[in-house]
Amino acid sequence: MSGTTGTGLPGSPTTLFDHALRLHELAPGKPLHRDGEPYPDDGSHRHRKGPRAPGDRRSAGKDAALVLDTHFARSSSPPDELADAFHDVYIPIHPDEHIAAAAGRADRERVRHTGRWLVRHGADRCSATVGLALLAAVGAADDIPLIQTIGLLSNRFGPLAAHALESRPGGAEALLWLAERVTSWGRVYVVEALCRLDDPAARPWLLRRACDGDFLNGYFAGKVATVARLHEALADLDTDSEMIDHTGRLLHCMSDCESMGLTLAHYPHAKAVLEAHARHVGSLSPTMERYFTIALLTQHLTTKPPEAAGCSATQREAIRATYLGILDRAEWTRTARAGLAADDSRMRWLADHRATQLRLRAFPDRAPDIGEQRTPGGSDLRR
């Protein structure tokens, strides 16, 4: 366990909560740098194999539940006795029926007090995870700030934080706060929770900000389009550039998320949304992100059969022609070439690795750079 000190007693290990809070205060409106990793307890976790997950995933939390049952059976046992009790026990990071059942067998207020203590004072990720699981089972509305803060360490705590907030009154508002401050897998957990809630108050955010350009957005893009009723909001594209850009990201994700989530081929409103996006995006000033998004959509329409975009052949060709007309405008061409000159990874990928059938005025035909053939994703798309 790390000896790094936090806001506790001098020489005491930094708690996971204090670590998350300190990093959050450095950039209050943004995700934590590297999701807050390394955590303060990294030294005790980095090289150890740890308990293996059971072969039957349904029994994942049984050992942790047994520790909790033993603890709660002793009425005088304080929460700090659990501080290191789970280090050698397999701890699931997703909601677990066995841990929830253990919480239900004990006094509710005592369970909640224990959960709060472990989340607030736990210096080991295992005990903090169990504490969050207890709050997910019995927490109250005034536990939300605690859950949100530990949830900022979202790769580890995102699944339980999203589950806990989803089940609390006012959960949509709490999840929206967290969604703005997580990315990668954490964003998947939180956005999927928002989609399950299907709260009308969350739809404006889902329509404009859910996808942040990460490849993992493919897990929820189709859910967002469906739950937020994107096809019913297309009239807003007339005056909402943020929604136009986000619609492009949604469409791009759904064109390239086979085996992850809902694809354009199975999205019943694909044609209408593609047509609306193609109609409106050309009214915006060119940016490298817009150019890249449209180019990838055009490549999909060029190389895939029309049914892969939910269109007939005639409909697909009309949308494709509209996109190509935008990409080959002089101002858009200059933007793409400027990006290539600045070594922007997206423009470089288009120049070197776009489909041979996709001819763009911005890029001369040339031999590809074999060393970089993957489509830029994750942070590349957010540059």
Q: Does 82 fall in a domain? A: yes
Q: Is the pTM of this model over 0.75?
A: yes
Q: Which of 133, 163, 197 is the last residue of a domain?
A: 197
Do 170 and 232 fall within a single domain? no
Left, alpha or beta for 164 (phi > 0: left; psi -120 to 50: alpha)?
alpha
- The domain boundary, picked from 169, 197, 225, lies at 197
Assess whether 120 and 191 both reside in one domain.
yes
Which amino acid is residue 371, in one-letter code?
A: G
In a domain, 202, yes or no: no
Q: Are residues 108 and 189 in the same domain?
A: yes
How many C-alpha atoms does 216 have within 13 Å on its Cβ side?
Answer: 14
Based on the fold, state whether residues 258 and 155 are members of the same structural domain. no
Give Cβ neighbours of residue 200 (< 8 Å, ≥ 6 apart): none
Tokens 């911005």, residue?
Answer: 362
Q: Residues 163, 232: one domain?
A: no
Alpha-carbon distance of 189 to 246, in angstroms, equals 19
**Total residues belonging to the chain:** 383
How many CB atoms sit inside 10 A of residue 177's CB?
A: 15
Residues of the chain with pLDDT under 70: 1-12, 365-383
Span 255-268, pLDDT tens digits: 999 999 999 999 99
Do 66 and 181 fall into the same domain? yes
Query: Would residue 138 count as lying in a domain?
Result: yes
| pLDDT of res. 9 | 47
Q: Would residue 203 count as lying in a domain?
A: no
Asked if residue 360 belongs to a domain, the reply is yes
Residues 238 and 178 in one domain: no
Q: Is residue 293 part of a domain?
A: yes
On whether both 133 and 28 belong to a single domain, the answer is yes
On whether both 241 and 379 belong to a single domain, the answer is yes
Question: Which residues constitute the domain of residue 225?
Answer: 208-383
Please indicate, yes or no, if residue 250 is contained in any of the structural domains: yes
CB atoms near residue 148 (< 10 Å): 19
pLDDT at res. 377: 57
Same domain? For 126 and 266 the reply is no
Contact 130, 63 (CB under 8 A): no
Q: Domains in the chain: how many in total? A: 2
For residue range 201-249, list pLDDT tens digits in order.
Answer: 999 999 999 999 999 999 999 999 999 999 999 999 999 999 999 999 9
Q: Please check whether residues 333 and 377 belong to one and the same domain.
A: yes
Among 197, 223, 240, the domain boundary falls at 197
pLDDT at 267: 98
Indicate if 123 and 270 belong to the same structural domain. Answer: no
